[in-house]
Structure 1
Amino acid sequence: MSRSRRKQEAPDLGILAGRTLFALQRQLFAELAEQGHPDVRPRHGAVLAYLDEAGSRATDLATLSGRHKQVIGTLVDELVELGYVERRPDPADRRAKLIVPTERGLDHMARSDAVIAAMEAAHAQAVGEPAYAEFKRVFKLVAERLSSGGET
């Protein structure tokens, strides 16, 4: 059996994770575009998915998303230009800046959460609530293990 055929019949973790991510992004960003947010791209998720409503430091966004601080800085620049976030002085440390969502950013974040919740509910209904809950539990464990550098 060819390698390609084996990968189709028994996809590995990387293939499954990639398929899941890309399909989720296609659906999420198509729905967000229909709801008034056509200018946000999947790359912006490194900021918007982790952004606290009260604001977050760029270093925290980098840590949470697994991206370099410079990448987060570029994405924040783009989101500032698009009107989704703004930089404000951090009240806890005036030398630091907080990335704070604007009203447009808050709307995007709320809509994104709702779309993801609806997608998850549909998957849970399709495969059964217990099976979906177990899938998420195990997937989270695997993701945490990989993020912490756990050995295979």
Structure 2
Amino acid sequence: MLGRAYSLLGFKIVDGVVGAGFPQKPSHSAVFAQIRPEGSRLTDLARGAGMTPQAMGELVDELEAMDYVVRRQDPTDRRAKLIVLTEKGRACVAAGVSTIRGLEERVTEKLGARGHQQLRTLLNKLLDDR
């Protein structure tokens, strides 16, 4: 049941973002969900998403080719690169946040405010086990 809910929500988020004019694949969410506003190192993105750096690197390459991210030198370590959102990437993330807010509103409509809060509490308990 959790797998079905995860897939359904993931596709609804991607559909909302694509519908807002930001084409992408569902797998790109692994980058957008992890990247920090000031930028992130590839290894941190991979660790946060539970992926290998090689797999994350492929996603970052795709997003760089689509002008959602750029690689910049890390000011704290000249040997490292930061993955940073471009203006287009920030707009894409904003579209994702807006889509998620809309989905949360639909959950509240279906479950009521109390049911929605209970669901959030239970999901947070599951996420605390990471």
Task: Give the alignment of 1:3-152 within 5 angstroms.
Answer: 16-38=1-23, 40-145=24-129, 147=130
Alpha-carbon distance between aligned partners in 2 of 1:50 and 1:144, rounded to the nearest angstrom: 17
Q: Which runs of 5+ in 2 are unaligned?
A: none
Q: Which structure has the bigger radius of gyration? A: 1
Higher relative contact order, chain-length normalized (CA < 8 Å, sep 6+) = 2
Deviation, structure 1 residue 33: 1.6
Q: Which moved more, 1:104-113 or 1:58-67?
A: 58-67
- Superposed CA RMSD: 1.2
Q: Deviations over 1:61-102 (max 9, x none)?
A: 112111111111111011101110000000011111000001
After TM superposition, which residue ranges in structure 1, 4 or more long, deviate above 3 angstroms? Answer: none
Amino acid across the alignment from 2:60: V
Matched position secondary structure for 2:80: strand
Partner Cα distance (1:89, 1:46) in 2: 22
Q: Residue deviations 1:44-77, cap 9 Å, x none? A: 1111111112101111111211111111111101
List runs of 5+ in structure 1 lacking aligned partners: 1-15, 148-152
TM-score normalised per structure 1: 0.81
Percent of residue pairs identical: 35
User: Normalization by structure 2: what TM-score?
Assistant: 0.93
Count of equivalent residues: 130
What letter corresponds to residue 22 of structure 2 in structure 1?
H
